[in-house]
A and B are shown apart, each in its own frame.
Chain A
Amino acid sequence: MGLVCRVVEEAGIPTVCVSTGRDITTLVRPPRSYFVNAPMGNNFGAPGDRETQSRILRAVLDLAVEAREPGCIVDDPMRWPRPFFFNPAPPSPEARAKQLKK
């Protein structure tokens, strides 16, 4: 997605990437990133929490206006109420066989 932002920005349209992976964002350097320290899939917070969803979206829009430095990352102040982890499902045996063939 960072790559997509870079290409769209290069085409002349300003972009903001709403990231939950700060280290990946630091590597890929989309033009502007707003980092939310929440589980992947909760970029705009918890279900039904309209206030937080609106606050984050507003901050993302403000970043589009205020950013001056290419590749900038702004950190959202939210603290997720529970510890969270990253544990994607392992690839299916077929997918793994296909990958190893390449």
Chain B
Amino acid sequence: MEPIRYVATLTEKYAALGFPPYDWSRYDDAPFTPLDKPLSACTVSLLTSGGVSRCAMPPFDPDARNDLRLDEVPSNAPSDDFQIHDSYYNHDDADRDLNCIFPIDRLRDMARDGTIGAVAPRLWSGFMGRIYKRQAVLADKAPALARELERDGVDLFIAVPA
């Protein structure tokens, strides 16, 4: 199957709803920081944007627009202690097994078997879909996250959009 055409689909959808055309972020190049140590020495952190929260925390707003909430998830959180609230995608599978979008069990497996050095002390959930305040992400929220990753000694960061 050909990959889904999200850009065309969303552009049509927004137009049909009477919204102004969405101005997609477009870049011709990308920043690049080489990984300078072997995986087995790397501390790895993980971010999901799939509306995932611990059961003891308030749920994400499934229809949120411009929700800049970012939750810290302790690296030892059990994968069956999460709830998902996000109307943007079908999370039936992820409800049954969080690892479909936030593979914390698999990451811990890899720390145990020595593939990676360690799971970072904090994993992350936030930056849900439908954030239109791009500047708040670029100038404020993402740099703040980068500083926290640095504090945790993170060598490699994996982001899983949903």
A residues with CB within 8 A of B? 1-24, 27-31, 35, 37, 39-48, 50, 53-54, 56-58, 60-61, 64-65, 70-71, 79-80, 83-86, 88-92, 95-96, 98-100
Contact = CB atoms under 8 A, between A and B. Distances in A.
**Interface magnitude class on chain B:** 35 or more
A3 B137 contact: yes
Contacts of A21: 3-4, 6, 161
B33 A13 contact: yes
Interface string B50-62: 1000000000001
A92 B142 contact: no
Interface string B1-32: 10111111100010001110000111111111
25 contacts: A1-B159, A3-B134, A3-B138, A5-B159, A7-B143, A8-B146, A10-B31, A13-B155, A16-B159, A27-B27, A28-B26, A42-B94, A44-B100, A44-B106, A47-B97, A53-B103, A53-B106, A61-B116, A64-B35, A70-B32, A71-B29, A84-B4, A89-B63, A95-B63, A99-B19
Interface of B: 1, 3-9, 13, 17-19, 24-35, 38-39, 44, 47, 49-50, 62-63, 65, 87-91, 93-94, 96-97, 99-101, 103, 105-107, 109-110, 115-116, 127, 129, 134, 137-138, 141-143, 145-147, 149-150, 154-162
Contacts of A40: 88-90, 161-162
Contacts of A19: 161
B145 A4 contact: yes
A29 B33 CA distance: 14
